[in-house]
Structure 1
Amino acid sequence: MSIAIIDGAADGAIAAWVAECLEAALARAGGQDIAITIPGGSSPFPILAELVRGGVDWSRIAVWPGDDRIVPEDHPASNVGRIRALLEPAGARIVPLAEGLVPPHFALAWLGMGADGHIASLFPNTDPRPDDPQRLRRLTPDPLPPEAPFDRFSLTIPALLDSDALLFVARGTDKRALFAAAAAGEHDLPVARLLGAARQPVTCFA
């Protein structure tokens, strides 16, 4: 497992990196569809907007949110609603998280990271484990973020690790330091648990 931290990349450069990754995965798939998982929140959407202007064949890509608030899709807090509005017109198949779904193997697992080291909705209070027998869980963050006080569905660490590559976008000095400490095994926050068990390439745009 290798970890690369790339500082100061603009949205367009990250979008180009993702496009190259997806095109390589589609080529390896030999005509079969692929699946990816992407984060919610505000930071990925300008990058995704750049990405959809490129030449990626979205008709062969199933897109899963890494986590979602349990609200209707037309609610402002819905990750899948925002993802659908942007990527479905480009041809992607959007997969909302729901009880009983079994996540597939992902060509790319793209994640954000909170200032508390959470990934997806695997907050420290949920005690996420690399050996979790479940691939998808319903969780209640504690404390609940005041801007989104909802229960969540989240992919678990094993589901995220069932991927060819891991991508983080964790901008800012504090997040970069937290990620670097996780990569070095200097703490036990959720991001560190994921990285400690990862065997695929990891790229972090900081």
Structure 2
Amino acid sequence: MELPPAVLSTGQIDRILSAAGTARDRFLLALLLGTGLRIGEALGLRREDIHFLPDSQHLGCQIAGAHVHVRPRQNNSNGARAKSGRHRHVPVERRVVNAYRDHLVERDGVQQAAGCDFVFVNLASRHAGLPMSYSNAKQVIERIGNRCGFRARPHMMRHTAATAWIRAGVDPDVVQTLLGHVSAASTAVYLHASDDDLRAAVDLVAAGGNR
């Protein structure tokens, strides 16, 4: 029997966001947890892909509400890739928007980043201002998880977002679109019943039989 993907609990989500040492890291985690983006998609984002105002028509975008555009690009200097190869947009919640604002303040303090259009850049050392790499992002997330006392990996954030949508009753077709899955089979991995589901099903039938 295939096991469901490893996900973070609500408490672990709060802890990992609080444990982030920089506004950049907090925004990266909030974005991954709130949108289900792949880490490569997040690291490939440019500032023009961030539409976090209620109305983006002045940007030539007719999509209402805060959202992020995931655009496949082949020329990312950090090697980041949007796996599906198709453009999509994903709505974002207020927590992600607020985290982005804090990130911009921090990012604007890195003089070397002024000429870089990537959303996520290195904040210090000789690589300051350059686009953040996958290995760097992976190490950052793993270190934050270690500080919290549990395992954390970039793709776990995507699993957590997808599982939360399914648990909230979002139609699997919608989840498939949000995740950018080409096949419904890729989304089906999140359709596992939890222990609570099993107990609720038995209790529901038992309650009906006792009437």
Range into which the TM-score falls when normalised by the shorter chain: under 0.3
Which has the larger share of helix? 2
Larger Rg: 2
Bigger strand share: 1
